Amino acid sequence: MNTVKTVLELRAAVARARGEGKRIAFVPTMGNLHEGHVALVEKAGQRADFVVASIFVNPLQFGPKEDLASYPRTLAADQDKLVAAGCQLLFAPDVEEMYPHGMSGQTLVRVSGVSEGLCGGSRPGHFDGVATVVTKLFNMVQPDLAVFGEKDFQQLAVVRTLVHDLNMPIQIMGEPTVRAADGLALSSRNGYLDEAQRASAPALYRTLQQLAAAIRDGRRDFAQLEAEGKAALEQAGFRPDYLEIREAGSLRPASATDSRLVILGAAYLGSTRLIDNLAFEL
């Protein structure tokens, strides 16, 4: 695997692969890779001939009180995981390479609708930062397809929308959330949890499962179900951020006639914010 740090090197390497007739897949990450990221890279390798991954902790998507400074940077270990997963090219730029003129005057990409509420409501400006860096990376790599995890369900909706609205010729693939044996969605932020918090963390997914079961059994009092879910999380030691039942395609609040639903939750254990979701059809 070749590791490059500049856009010039990245484009040259991708151009060589494309000149050989190879189909290009892209997996953007912020590093500190786990089995979920590895699964994305492996899936990309099944769908393309040349896999590009990126590692960039994007300051533009972090709020002023969020964990940018403490976010884990584990480049050497990440490189080993990417090689084992079949990645051919890693783009690992620094902030100056991504934002050579600084971030204060950076052109922003804003995706309306699906970016509003949920994480977009709790983290103002977050999805502007996500959409902007993804657009820049897509323009730098120009892949045929890109693979994202479904754990970040709203982020995936934002990416699908911007690709559609900006007429980008890129196939976006969503891959199911990879979970630990006890159901906890794998996340780089799980490493922040202490032993007791880690033991409590699977209650987030269990709560989503319980709500989904109630809906499958015929309940449609969504507001009451959301309230019950938040109470269950509080009882398990969480501080809920949000817990909402949405229509899975548009992410608008669910109605009784919808057949494709997603339950999305975010909650704190101590200072660690965990997110998860459960999509299902009736």
What's the mean pLDDT when you consider all of the chain?
97
Residue 129 pLDDT > 90: yes
In the chain, domain spans: 2-175, 188-281
If you count them, how many residues does the chain have? 282
> In sequence order, what DSSP letters do the residues of 155-176 get, joined into one string?
HHHHHHHHHHHTT---EEEEEP
**Which DSSP category does 185 fall into?**
B
Taking residue 103's Cβ as centre, other Cβ atoms within 10 Å add up to 14
Residue 152 CB partners (closer than 8 Å, separation 6+): 275
60 secondary structure, DSSP code:
G
Query: What percent of the chain has a predicted confidence (pLDDT) above 90?
Result: 99
How many secondary structure helices (H) and strands (E) does the chain include? 10, 9
- The CA distance from 220 to 169, in Å, is 39
Burial classification of residue 201, based on how many CB atoms lie within 10 Å of its CB (0-12 exposed, 13-18 middle, 19 or more buried): buried
Q: What are phi and psi of 8, to 5 degrees?
A: -60, -45
**Cβ 34 vs Cβ 110: under 8 Å:** no
What fold characterizes domain 2-175?
A: Rossmann fold (3.40.50)
Task: Identify the pLDDT of residue 97.
Answer: 98
Strand segments (E) across 170-271: 171-175, 239-247, 260-269
Which among 268, 151, 169, 278 is positioned nearest to 214, based on CA atoms?
278
DSSP code for 6? S
pLDDT in tens, 190-236: 999 999 999 999 999 999 999 999 999 999 999 999 999 999 999 99
Distance CA 59, CA 234 (A): 31
The pLDDT of residue 212: 98
Q: Could you tell me which residues come within 8 angstroms of residue 54 by beta carbon, excluding any fewer than 6 positions away?
A: 26, 27, 28, 29, 90, 91, 92, 93, 137, 141
Measured CA to CA, the distance from residue 159 to residue 249 in angstroms comes to: 13
What's residue 65's pLDDT?
84
188-281 adopts what CATH topology? Pantoate--beta-alanine Ligase; Chain: A,domain 2 (3.30.1300)
Counting beta carbons within 10 angstroms of the beta carbon of residue 267, is it exposed (0 to 12), middle (13 to 18) or buried (19 or more)? Answer: buried
Tell me whether strands 272-281 and 260-269 are parallel, antiparallel or unpaired: antiparallel
Residue from 37, 101, 126, 164 carrying the catalytic annotation: 37
Token pair of 199, please?
Answer: 């033991």
Task: Give catalytic status of residue 37 as yes or no.
Answer: yes
How confident is the model at residue 144, as a pLDDT?
98
Q: Note the pLDDT tens digit of each residue in 65-122.
A: 899 999 999 999 999 999 999 999 999 999 999 999 999 999 999 999 999 999 999 9
pLDDT value of residue 98: 98
**CB neighbours of 50 closer than 8 A, spacing ≥ 6?**
14, 17, 18, 22, 23, 24, 25, 88, 89
